Each structure stands twice: as C-alpha cells, then as structure tokens.
Amino acid sequence: MKIKIKTLVVYGVVLAATFYAGMMVPRAEKSASPLPVKAAPRPATIVVQSKPTTPAPTANPAPTAAPPPSAAAKLSPDDLKALLQDNPAAAAYARSLTENEDFNGLAIDIAGRWAMDDPRGALAWAQGLPAGKSRDNAVNVIFTTYGTLDPAAALAFAQALPDDGSNDRSRALEGLANAASTLPDPAQAAALLTSIGRTESKISADNPTAAVAATWVLHDTAAATQWIGTLPTGSTKDSAILAVVGVAADKGDPATAFTWLRTMSNPATRGTTTTQLITQWAKTDPDAAQAAVLQAYPNNNNGRQATLLGIIQQARAANTSANPQ
C-alpha cells in the first residue's frame, strides 16, 4: 500500500507540475506528450549544465547545483517537475510567490500530495505560509487527505491542535468532515462526523452530514435512521433529512420522502420542499398524494392543506387534458 501511495504521489505531482508550468512559466513550451505511465525517479537536486568556455575535458564535468528558485526564475517544465518532486524545495518555491491564484493553487496541490506521505511535515510547512486563503486551504486539504487515509489518527492530530487565532484547528476539522463524505464505510464516516461534533451553518443536501446520511440510508436504513435521530435539531439534522428525502424520491418512493419531510424542523425549507414533492407526486399518483396531505394537515394548518390540494387538483386537470377519454 505504501509503495502504491508513493507512486501515486510522484505521478500526481508530475501532472500538477505540467499544469503549473503552463500557468506560471509563459516562455516554457507545453508538452504535447501524454501523461507518463510511470514517473521518473526522484532527483536528489535540480542541476544545470554549464556551457564550457574551454575545450571540454575527457571526463564529464560534475554537475553544478542550481540556486534556489525564485518567483522570477524561468524554469523549464522538466525543472519544475523535478522541483515539485522534492517537497522542501516545492515549499521554498511556494513561499517565493505572492498571495494570488497561482500561489493558492500550488499551495493546495503541494499540501494534498505531501500529506499522503507526511501529514505532520505538510502541516508544519503550511503553518509557515502567510495568513490568508492559501494557508487555510492548505491546512484543510492536508486533513481531508489524511482523514481519508487514516481517520482515527487524523482526528487525534486535529484535536491536539491549539484552538487559537490561526484557525488551524477549525480548518483541520473542516477537512476531516470533507474526508468523512468520501469514506466507503458510512458507519465509519458517521462516527467521524459525530466525533468532530460537526454542525452545519446552513441546510444543504451537499453538506458532509447529508452526503453520509444519503449513502448510509441506501446501505442500512435502520442504522442511518437511528444516527440521524441523534443529530442536534437544526441545520445539521435538516441537511441529513433533506438528503434522505432526495434518495427516497429518486427511488420512486414519494410516500417515504413525505414522511421524512414531516420531521424537518426548519419550516421554510420544509414547506418549499413539500410543495416540490407534492407537485411531482401528483403527476404520477394524485390519489396517494391527496391522502398524504389530508392526513398530514387535518385542520388545514393555516391554509397549507388547501394550497397542496390545489396543486394536486391542477395535476389531475393536466392529466385529464393530456389523456382525454
């Protein structure tokens, strides 16, 4: 596994280097060859070959180490590839740039690939970056990567960070939440989110909590339901419910989706989503949709029953027009 990861790091770095060479070195020629199947061996240092001013000796002259690169350095694509395969040198190169899009993209790429082999070294490097978006994003991606490879160790590392003005701890926990949404075992992912104490600031089916809930409900509905019930009332829980509603609707089970919607705490999101669901449900089974509405709103609930029944009636009329007797 370790060999495969290192191979992936080298291969991915070559890919990133080729991209950044095109962005940051205008004079460099873009390579037209496909991505290599196997990366070149990791060089010990970047070297340059000087042109001799005197007749060349019979033996090859020793290579001369290149000076540390700077923002003004004109690196060839091959030199940049070699540079990015050496993490400390890549760090020095990133520090020589300014806080701009090129810097941010390079910092994220270095952080993610470095974290696959050495997350602690990657974090130490990221903490040396200037405060700002690039530093925050680098810390985030380090823990997203580390959390995917070893969730327990990454969690312990993140929780040990000081909760100070650097925001490194909060960025690390955000990265772990992102990692949770990609873990193949939804139970493990849910446990990681619970350990983080993840809370969502807004309701969205794209939130990590929602992504884990949607995956888990497909594998083990009972276990997923039990976990969602333990989530704190508010945006976190509503995000999970919204994702499960989407799964049920996609599976052609609007009745289950409607039942889940009734447990959502946010009235605005619940109302909007219910209207959308009833509109779609009434097109395929208006009788079932009507029965669900009558049961959910027996006392009209400030006109809510009448509004939804009106939508169902419009669907009936449209179905009749489309299929006249």
Whole-number pLDDT of residue 164:
84
Say how far apart CA 295 and CA 151 lie, in whole Å.
Answer: 44
CB-based contact 227:260 (threshold 8 Å): no
Q: Which amino acid is at 178?
A: N
CB-based contact 15:105 (threshold 8 Å): no
Spatial CA neighbour of 266 closest among 289, 248, 230, 241: 241
Say how far apart CA 38 and CA 7 lie, in whole Å.
Answer: 8
Say how far apart CA 263 and CA 249 lie, in whole Å.
Answer: 16
Contacts of 209 (CB under 8 A, 6+ apart): 177, 193, 198, 200, 231, 236, 239, 240
Contacts of 6 (CB under 8 A, 6+ apart): 117
34 DSSP 8-state letter:
P
Whole-number pLDDT of residue 15:
37
Whole-number pLDDT of residue 73:
45
From first CA to last CA, the distance across the chain in angstroms is 66
Sequence spans of domains, the chain: 1-31+73-180, 186-252, 266-325
Per-residue pLDDT of the chain (325 residues; tens, 9 = 90+): 433 443 343 334 333 433 333 333 333 333 333 323 233 333 333 233 333 443 444 444 443 344 444 433 445 556 655 655 666 766 666 566 555 567 788 888 889 989 999 999 999 989 988 888 889 999 999 999 999 999 999 999 999 999 888 899 999 999 999 999 999 999 999 999 999 988 888 999 989 999 999 999 999 999 999 999 999 999 999 999 999 999 999 999 999 999 999 999 999 999 999 999 999 999 999 999 999 999 999 887 778 999 999 999 999 998 877 776 6
Whole-number pLDDT of residue 144:
97
